Amino acid sequence: DALACKTPIISDFHEELYKLFPNEVLYYKNKKDFIECIEKVYFSYPSIKRSIDSVYDKIVNEFSFERRARDLVALVKDFQ
């Protein structure tokens, strides 16, 4: 949801999320990484914003509520 709002995200590291958004989300594994993420948002916001903006269409097309609802309906139909 935050990416859909074009907002920087700092997240603890998750392999699956990293596979989807390796450069658009700032990841940390420890306190030092977390502080570096905060500094990156503060000092490099325009660069981070461009990165998020570059995947906005993907986010809207692949991860919207409407898209997820269609995927769930299709999945249920496969079981009928």
pLDDT tens sequence across 30-69:
999 999 999 999 999 999 999 999 999 999 888 888 888 9
Statement: the pTM of the whole predicted model exceeds 0.85: no
Read out DSSP for 23-79?
TTEEEESSHHHHHHHHHHHHHSHHHHHHHHHHTHHHHHHHHSHHHHHHHHHHHHHHT
